Structure 1
Amino acid sequence: MTPQEKIIIAVAEVKGYLDYWQNECKNDYADPAELSEDIDKMNNILNDVLNYVHLTYEKDTTVSHSD
């Protein structure tokens, strides 16, 4: 498994935890807007990481792409 694949799997796991947190912990927030703001922040961080991983993967010419 390449380093890029390991990172992608780790990010997918974090995304899974975020989905769980979003669904299970939403009732802990008195203000729905605060929940939405926190979710947006976490999603933005995950998107930044995924974009970085994608760009890194694209630049890596030693990685073989298998279909």
Structure 2
Amino acid sequence: MRLSEWTRFVAGLVHEHWTAGETWPVLQHVEQAPSWREDVAAACDLVPRSCDEAVRVMRATLALCWD
């Protein structure tokens, strides 16, 4: 897949049942793609999740940002 330099790739890979440690190898794989500017997001949005699940997703996402 080719993306323009102005396009950000948002990888929806953070899941409430995965820890940041379990998600990290997937994120590293995405980051190996040449010339992509990537962001991470929750898999399938936060809307269908309970409040507790959404908080777990946000905490896992925050942990990935600090690594």
Q: TM-score, normalised by structure 2?
A: 0.37
Q: Name the structure, 1 or 2, with higher relative contact order (CA <8 Å, separation 6+).
A: 1
Q: In terms of Rg, which structure is larger? A: 1
Q: Which is strand-richer, 1 or 2?
A: 2
Q: Which is helix-richer, 1 or 2?
A: 1
